[in-house]
Structure formats: structure tokens, C-alpha cells
Amino acid sequence: MTLLDTRLRRIEASPCGQVCDSRGISVAHKEDGVLDKTPNDKWVALIRRINRDKDVSAFEVLFDHFAPRVKSFLMKSGADNTMAEECAQEVMATVWQKSHLFDPTRASASTWIFTIARNKKIDALRKLKRPEPDELSWGAEHEPDQEDVISLQQETQRLGAALSELPQKQRDLLEQAFFHEKSHSEIAQDTGLPLGTIKSRIRLALDKLRHSMS
């Protein structure tokens, strides 16, 4: 099994219904014959157009949505405005350049872009290399199975919904764990919470997310 697999167990298709993202992006977007039930599907179709057609207008839509989020991520990780701006541009350029490596059966667009932004952070802020696992991709000719694409994108949609239902405190700690260049013990110092509490809260938040997916 691929997908999010053992942890975020494959869920039967539940009525995910009419979902809009926080900015109310339409869910009724149909393109490339991809079934567009969620905003994630829209990103999948856009990245496909970037890869196949070198479509600048598709890239601009993706850029407008993700570049400000990537910039925010980098600033929370300790970059100043200038550096975060430059790095966000480089991250988006990488998105264009590596669009052929995006595999919608394994990751949503936001997950894929998160991994590129994280690697940029390690490279630019920590000056370290980032050894990456081997790609599982089957090569350029491989056409992803639409069912797998839809199922992965629906899981992502549900993960997003589950995240927004977490108590604010847990959501904050999760964001710190992912975004900030801080160890758990530094987060403990900042928040005044005992280290054990931080760890168990993050674990609790992750467990809740997992359970919400099963």
C-alpha cells in the first residue's frame, strides 16, 4: 500500500460534501478530466499543467496561493523579510522545475510544497545538506491511477478538517513543532510548560489527527 497508509489509514469515501478552503476557493473546478471534489484537486491539475504545458497562468494561481504561506513559514523559522522573500521565490521556482516529480498519489500539493520549503529552510538557514529518501516515483511515463489520486486528496481534505478542529493550544504547539527552528526544550522554555507536557501535547495532537483519519 502506498498513500498515507498505516498511520492515516485509508478511509472509505465519506461524504466529504461541498468543501471550500479558508478563502472559499471553488470546489467545482473541472479540468483535465480530474474529478474536482476538493480544492486540492485544483492544485493537482495546475501542477500537471505546469509540467505538461509550461503554463504560466497555472503557475501564477499556484504562486498566489502558496508563495505567501511559504514566506510566512520561513519567517517563523527565523528568516528576516528579505531572506524569506528570496527563499520563497526560490521554493516556487523549484516547484516549477520539479513539477514532473510531483506524485499526486503520494502527496497533496501542500505537502509536496511543504517538503520543498523545509529543505530550503535547512539549506538556507542551517547551511546543512538534506539527505532525502529515494523517490518511489515510477518515472515520467507513469500515469497516476485516478482513484489513488482522489483517495489521497480526500484524505488530505479530511486531515485539514481534523486539524482545524484541534484545540487551539494543540494546534499552536503543532505549528511550532513543524515551523519553528526550536527544539522541544526551547519551546518548553518559551511557553513555561514542562517538557513532558509539550511532548505529550504534540503526541496527543498527532494521535487525534490520526484517529480522525481512521
Is the distance from CB of 19 to CB of 160 less than 8 angstroms?
A: no
Taking the C-alpha atoms of residue 182 and residue 169, their distance in angstroms, rounded to an integer, is 17
C-beta closer to another protein: residue 124 or 193: 124
C-beta of 33 vs 74, nearer to another protein: 74
| Strands in 88-191 per DSSP E | none
Identify residues 189-208 at the interface with another protein (CB under 8 A).
Answer: 202, 206
Give the phi and the psi of residue 201 in degrees, each rounded to 5: -70, -40
The least distance separating another protein from the CB of residue 36, rounded to whole angstroms, comes to: 17
Q: Does 143 bind another protein (CB under 8 A)?
A: no
Residues 83-122 that bind another protein (CB under 8 A): 84-85, 88-90, 92-93, 96-98, 100, 106-115, 117-119, 121-122
Instruction: Specify the amino acid at residue 124.
Output: A
Question: Do the beta carbons of residue 82 and residue 22 sit within 8 Å?
Answer: no
* Coil, strand or helix at 125: helix
Does position 5 interact with another protein (CB under 8 A)? The reply is yes
In the block, cell 538556507 appears at: 124
Would you say 33 or 133 has its CB closer to another protein? Answer: 133
Q: Which amino acid is at 9?
A: R
Look up residue 100 and give its DSSP letter. G
Give the per-residue contact string, 149-168, with another protein (x = CB under 8 A; - = no).
------xx--xx--xx----
- Interface with another protein (CB under 8 A), residue from 15, 24, 28, 128: 128
Locate the DSSP E strands across 51-174: none
Helix (H, G, I), strand (E, B) or coil at 17: coil
- Kindly state the smallest distance separating residue 31's Cβ from another protein, in Å: 20
Please report how close the Cβ of residue 17 comes to another protein at its closest, in angstroms. 19
| SS3 category, 108 | coil
CB of 34 to another protein, least distance (A): 19
Q: How far is the CB of 133 from another protein (least distance, A)?
A: 4
Binding to another protein (CB under 8 A) within 19-78 occurs at: 21-22, 56, 60, 63-64, 67-73, 75-76
